[in-house]
Structure 1
């Protein structure tokens, strides 16, 4: 199983050179995002999540149009344009660590996460967005050195009726599991209709790997565990957000398949392993 930091692997060298590939034809031009994912319709609603132009940035926050390194652009999902987003600085660092984690756990042929499309981070309103400690992810675009792209889409509103919807779900739920390894609050389309076009993450409870755990009382976490078992691992798991004997049995079956010899997903180390293996299998890095 890959760690979050592989040193200067071939993947690391590719990522380090990402900024120099802006002219390789892989960047989305302003206003062209809808054309890059086949069949994607125009976005009809304007989401919240961006501060007004020229707004004062609160103390302790930073504004960036990239995540962690210049080779990973941040773009506004409705337009596709590279955009400045404002974050609480600690949360931004946690997101950057997650970005390195997904870079290190996708196939080498994918290259690196070149653009993350979002509906917003800080905005002047109550809640975690109002603290700059939440981020809404619409899509992730990978680019390799040959100019080829791969997509992970959180746009359930777009692909839910596609003939290959299960293919998109596989990547979606694997990515949700990978996010859950880093962040306690990962809100998906199973939670409510407001999240049909993005996955919401925040660090209200945890945003550090050492703190991650699974709460059987969390419907949001349980949706992800159940959907990963079903969509990624091919089990017949029901998806109702309720912990029960089937969810325990099926998640334990996954743990044994990936080499965890004892315990259940309620053990933190097993939970971490489940999340990473689900992401790696969903994107085709490892078959298990």
Structure 2
């Protein structure tokens, strides 16, 4: 997967860039995927199709009311729909239906050879549901650059849901970049893409620092284990992830069954993190 994220090309979407700069104090918000309806697609990456949402859930940019269509490779959009369906099916029923998904960008031709250039990268920022009373409620908030300075009592639930959501994304996409693995440019969104593998082939690899770091963060912030956050696969991380697998009803480790147990680990972590299901303490 090519390195991505940073600012857009000079002059691209100036109004939105100005708004982002005002909100983030000048920090780059990864506007690498924003596509205006009708913009041309580079022939090198094939068909780019504009969609108003994923899994039937509308997407927005920055503000909840700023509904935005983005350009995708159709196969990537299908995979995004599978992930959205999974997320919605594994949060508590009391949340209500998925309502809107925040995104900082999908396709953008200015990122040559990157996931966004090819329409197979997505920058996730928010997920809202809508309660029975009709009120939208934010359930996931990727803006660690904002909530990292909150009091622990306010920050802890955001962090827990962040890693529960990251677990759901890791289940469907091989390449996922978070503030844990890439703190300098992913503190305001989770990047996911399928340049390497999609949901039918994704599995765990000790050679993926991003996957290792996610497993460590999930063990610590979702399951309450004192896991060291160093992005290095070692005996402690192996032991703690195996304990989670056992708590979820499985056996073995992430290395003994890298696909089967990764799917189990990520599903259980999603459900544990959102309080959908209570598992034994690992």
Superposition TM-score tier, normalisation by shorter sequence:
0.7 to 0.9
Long gaps (5+) in structure 1: 1-30, 35-40
Q: 1:48 to 1:78 in 2, by over 3 A?
A: farther
* TM-score relative to the length of structure 2: 0.82
User: Is the CA contact 2:37–2:69 (under 8 Å) kept in the aligned structure 1?
Assistant: no
Residue 76 (str. 1) matches residue 74 (str. 2): no
User: Is the CA contact 1:75–1:116 (under 8 Å) kept in the aligned structure 2?
Assistant: yes
1:139-150 mapped onto 2 (5 Å cutoff) = 139-148=126-135, 149-150=137-138
User: Is the CA contact 1:43–1:78 (under 8 Å) kept in the aligned structure 2?
Assistant: no
Q: 1:173 to 1:286 in 2, by over 3 A?
A: same
Q: Deviations over 1:141-180 (max 9, x none)?
A: 1112222424211111110111121211100011111100
User: Is the CA contact 1:174–1:282 (under 8 Å) kept in the aligned structure 2?
Assistant: yes
Q: What is the distance in 2 between the residues matched to 1:281 and 1:66?
A: 27
* TM-score relative to the length of structure 1: 0.81
Deviating above 4 A after TM superposition, structure 1's stretches of 4 or more consecutive aligned residues are none
Residue 156 (str. 1) matches residue 144 (str. 2): yes
Q: What is the distance in 1 between the residues matched to 2:65 and 2:225?
A: 36
Q: Deviations over 1:174-203 (max 9, x none)?
A: 111110010001100122311010000000
Structure 2 residue aligned with 1:87, among 72, 78, 87?
Answer: 72
Deviation at 1:80, TM superposition (A): 4.7
1:138 paired residue number? 125
Q: What is the distance in 2 between the residues matched to 1:51 and 1:150?
A: 25
2:23 paired residue number? 42
2:277 paired residue number? 286
| Matched residue count | 246
Deviation at 1:205, TM superposition (A): 1.4
> Secondary structure at the residue paired with 2:205?
coil
Structure 2 residue aligned with 1:194, among 185, 192, 203?
Answer: 185
1:98 paired residue number? 83
Residue 234 (str. 1) matches residue 224 (str. 2): yes
Q: 1:146 to 1:218 in 2, by over 3 A?
A: same
User: Is the CA contact 1:180–1:186 (under 8 Å) kept in the aligned structure 2?
Assistant: yes
1:260-279 mapped onto 2 (5 Å cutoff) = 260=250, 262-266=251-255, 267=257, 268-279=259-270
1:218 paired residue number? 208
* Pairwise CA RMSD: 1.9
Q: What is the distance in 1 between the residues matched to 2:115 and 2:126?
A: 21
Deviation at 1:79, TM superposition (A): 7.2
More deviation in 139-148 or 183-192? 139-148
Residue 129 (str. 1) matches residue 120 (str. 2): no
